Amino acid sequence: MYILVVNAGSSSLKYQLFDMEGEKLLAKGNADRIGIDGVLEHQVIGKEKTATPTPFPTHADAIKKVLETLVDKEAGCIESIDMIGAVGHRVVHGGPWLTKPTLVTEQSKADLRKCLTIAPLHTKGHLEGIQGCEEVMPTVPQVLVIDTAFHSTMPAKAYTYPIAYEVAEKYNIRRYGFHGTSHRYVSAIANEYLGKEDSKIVTCHIGNGSSISAVRGGKCMDTSMGFTPLDGIIMGSRCGAIDPAIVPYIMEAENIPANEMGNWMNKKCGLLGVSGVSSDMRNLRKAQAEGNERANLASDILTYEIKKFIGSYAAAMNGLDCLVFTAGIGENDARVRSEVCADMEFLGVKMDEDKNLNYRDLPVPADVSAADSKVKILVIATNEELVIARDTAEVVEGLNK
Ligand code: ADP
């Protein structure tokens, strides 16, 4: 079966086409600037990437162009769109309503619409992407694969915020967690590597957005992101968890309205805000090499906060068998991994620095822990799209049984 994985945002629609026989990625791209001017970035794997100005006023127009490109004799990789057996949609927020991969039906769309109150921008994009696919490929089953789903196993003490219970209930305010597809993927690989039933794993998804999860026996017990992806550790331009009293204090002092304050915490803080240089770790490293003290501070906060989460999750799980690093920074920045794991022998964490630097030479999953480390330290490349394709295939195969 061929599966199209779609990640629809408010003005973009990213896609990957998989041949599930051998789980082969065939093509990927992004219909960007939907409703603005429109650019179609497209790449058949193994060939050059192209970027073509292509007007698409709506998500349906964008998906139409993507399908035309996929079947194009020159630029494409399949003969007919009838070969696409299903579409898997990445859904950022399922709220309390969507907690597992779910077929798109009137009921699941109604559940997704409820998420508009909690995550308006992302949900609007998803709904438009789904509608676009329904218009263009009405007979092809579509599946929602939800980022918050993996975290739905958290106990109440982990997901309940200590605010007035009635208010939390009224507005569905609780810890939901994000990057669930990634945490699920890497923790499953780690679990298999450990070969242990009640394994205690901390997964560190450190990228532009970052989150850390405590996974015990394959189930998520706690995670650092919360009601929104703003909670948790310092990120590229997001502040993560801060003293909540800071927010009304700044709003009053600077006369800032709520939406602008939200934007400020999402776009102007984090590594960017502290360093004044960039939200991008590579730029921060360059600034550090030039002796920029605030870039050093931003980097120190990042490793310190990751360390604190690892310590608290080890305490919450009564132990630690494995630490996993993944995503842009987790996979590529050996220094972050090294600094996080430094001085953690008390927890049984001991890194092999040489392996850490050259982890790509190691068999997958790369084990960069020292021979006498009680805790395994793994670097695992995440692959959220493949998980979405797998989940979609499973749901669709279930329909045919
Ligand atoms: P997103 O959350 O947008 O998916 P990614 O997981 O792609 O983000 O991570 C992006 C981050 O990874 C950026 O801060 C980028 O600088 C960092 N990154 C990518 N490659 C490297 C590298 N070689 N060294 C250090 N950081 C890197």
Task: Tell me which of 111, 147, 222, 333 is the catalytic residue.
Answer: 147
Pocket probe mutation, ligand 1, options 329, 356, 380, max atoms within 8 Å of Cβ: 329
Q: What pLDDT, on the 0 to 100 scale, is given for residue 266? A: 93
Q: What pLDDT, on the 0 to 100 scale, is given for residue 120? A: 86
* Amino acid making up residue 341: C
Q: What pLDDT, on the 0 to 100 scale, is given for residue 334? A: 98
Q: What pLDDT, on the 0 to 100 scale, is given for residue 401? A: 76
CA of 209 to the centre of ligand 1 (A): 9
Question: What's the pLDDT tens digit per position in 6-34?
Answer: 999 888 999 999 999 999 999 999 999 99
Residue 187 has pLDDT above 80, yes or no: yes
CA of 58 to the centre of ligand 1 (A): 30
Question: What's the pLDDT tens digit per position in 47-69?
Answer: 999 999 999 999 999 999 999 99
Pocket probe mutation, ligand 1, options 30, 147, 332, 385, max atoms within 8 Å of Cβ: 332
Mean per-residue pLDDT, 296-316: 98
The three-class DSSP label of residue 62 is: helix
Question: What's the pLDDT tens digit per position in 110-166?
Answer: 999 999 988 888 899 999 999 999 999 999 999 999 999 999 999 999 999 999 999
Ligand 1 and 333: CB distance under 6 A: yes
Q: What pLDDT, on the 0 to 100 scale, is given for residue 399? A: 86
| Mean pLDDT rounded to a whole number for the chain | 96
Q: Are 231 and 225 in contact (CB under 8 A)?
A: yes
The C-alpha atoms of residue 200 and residue 91 are separated, in whole angstroms, by: 27
Fold match between domain 2-146 and domain 195-384: yes
Pocket probe mutation, ligand 1, options 12, 185, 208, max atoms within 8 Å of Cβ: 208
Q: Are 184 and 152 in contact (CB under 8 A)?
A: no
Give the torsion sign (CA, 356, 359, 363, 365).
positive
CATH number of 195-384, picked from 1.20.120.10, 3.40.50.2000, 3.30.420.40, 3.40.190.10: 3.30.420.40
Indicate the CATH number for domain 2-146. Answer: 3.30.420.40
147 labelled catalytic: yes
Ligand 1 and 360: CB distance under 6 A: no
The C-alpha atoms of residue 271 and residue 142 are separated, in whole angstroms, by: 38
Ligand 1 and 229: CB distance under 6 A: no
Question: What's the pLDDT tens digit per position in 212-227?
Answer: 999 999 999 999 999 9
| Structure-model confidence comparison of residues 366 and 197, the more confident one | 366
**CA angle at residue 84 from 80 to 88, to 5 degrees?**
150
pLDDT band with cut points at 50, 70 and 90 for residue 400 = confident
Q: What is the pTM of this model?
A: 0.95
> Two tokens at 50?
């192209």
Select from 87, 93, 51 the least CA-distant residue to 69. Answer: 51
Ligand 1 and 334: CB distance under 6 A: no
Question: What's the pLDDT tens digit per position in 277-300?
Answer: 999 999 999 999 999 999 999 999
What atom of ligand 1 comes closest to residue 235's alpha carbon? 14
Ordered by start, the domain boundaries in the chain are 2-146, 195-384
Q: Are 126 and 92 in contact (CB under 8 A)?
A: yes
Q: What pLDDT, on the 0 to 100 scale, is given for residue 110? A: 98
